[in-house]
Amino acid sequence: MSYPTDVEAADTPMWIAHKVIHQGAEATVTSGSWMGKSAVLKMRNPRGYRTPHLDRKLTRQRLSVEARVLGRLQYHNLTSPSLIDLDLEQGWILMSKIEGITLYDYLNSKEDSNTSVINSFGKIIRKLHEVGISHGDLTTHNVLIDNNGKLSLIDFGLARILPELEHLGLDLQVLNECLTASHSEFENAVNDMIAGYLSIDSQKNNLIPAKDVISRFNEIRGRVRYHA
């Protein structure tokens, strides 16, 4: 990856890549340092099966929504990486590094089936929804947990700003499917997620109430079961 030439020309490069920490289908994530602080660079990989025009359009859309969401979360003091820089044309975004592991790895290495962390997860999902954002890909791969048990949401390329009730309900359904498929040993996980979600309800005028989101989620769950 090449960082803008004016930056590279500086005596001390601002971005120093250390190692690739994730090589996925959509993106390659490299950890490194930005002006001496831990950072990650997420570079979107071109997808050969899409026409180059559509691919560039999707890349720009996903990166720009990710950057806008990170900005909003910072503004509202929600824990998430902070945005450092982005280049829509080259297809990368640079953000602070969260020290921790994915909730997926954390749950899979856990020896007991205590699900208080999933209750906390429900709470941060509600906080995200309360600031007018749906995630769009809410799996346990897209939440990081640090040594103190603090959770941070990541990966906002499919997020929506000002989502409809259906998008909020769908976030919970995607998580429900993930918990059922990948973490089935945590029997009470979905109920704990719901309890956490319902425990945060600011009841401001312009917000969709938490209980309405849960009703929609139950409706979507029912629809999916019916069609399965």
Q: Which residues bind Mg ion (CB under 5 A)?
A: 142, 155
Give the separation between CA 128 and CA 125, rounded to whole angstroms. 5
Which member of 72, 97, 135, 160 binds ligand ATP (CB under 6 A)?
A: 97
Q: Which of 137, 146, 155, 171 is catalytic?
A: 137
User: Which of 60/141 has CB closer to Mg ion?
Assistant: 141
**Burial of 171 from C-beta contacts in 10 A (0-12 / 13-18 / 19+):** buried
User: Which of 3/104 has CB closer to ligand ATP?
Assistant: 104
Other residues' Cβ atoms within 10 Å of the Cβ of residue 133:
26
Of these partners, Mg ion, ligand ATP, none, which one is at the site of residue 103 (CB under 5 to 8 Å by kind)? none
Give the separation between CA 122 and CA 119, rounded to whole angstroms. 5
Question: Tokens 């009470």 correspond to what residue?
Answer: 188
What one-character DSSP code corresponds to residue 131? T
Of these partners, Mg ion, ligand ATP, none, which one is at the site of residue 118 (CB under 5 to 8 Å by kind)? none
The residue number whose beta carbon is nearest to Mg ion equals: 155
Of these partners, Mg ion, ligand ATP, none, which one is at the site of residue 98 (CB under 5 to 8 Å by kind)? ligand ATP
Q: Which long-range contacts (CB under 8 A, 24 or more apart) does 105-111 make?
A: 106/145, 107/140, 107/182, 107/183, 107/186, 108/182, 108/183
| Pairing outcome for strands 37-44 and 133-134 | unpaired
> x/- contact string, 54-83, with ligand ATP (CB under 6 A)?
---------------------------x--
Give the separation between CA 89 and CA 106, rounded to whole angstroms. 35
| Count of residues near ligand ATP by CB under 6 A | 20
Show the DSSP H helices in the chain as ranges: 5-8, 52-75, 103-109, 116-130, 165-182, 189-199, 210-227
Active site residue 137: yes
Is the Cα dihedral 163, 159, 97, 200 positive or negative? positive
Which member of 41, 43, 86, 98 binds ligand ATP (CB under 6 A)?
A: 98
Q: Which stretch binds ligand ATP (CB under 6 A): 12-20, 24-32, 118-126, 207-215?
A: 24-32
**Is there binding between residue 21 and ligand ATP (CB under 6 A)?**
yes
The residue number whose beta carbon is nearest to ligand ATP equals: 24
**Is there binding between residue 84 and ligand ATP (CB under 6 A)?**
no
Residue 192 contacts residue 122 (beta carbons within 8 Å): yes
User: Which of 96/119 has CB closer to ligand ATP?
Assistant: 96
Binding residues for ligand ATP, per CB under 6 A?
A: 21-22, 24-27, 29, 40, 42, 81, 95, 97-98, 102, 141-142, 144, 154-155, 157
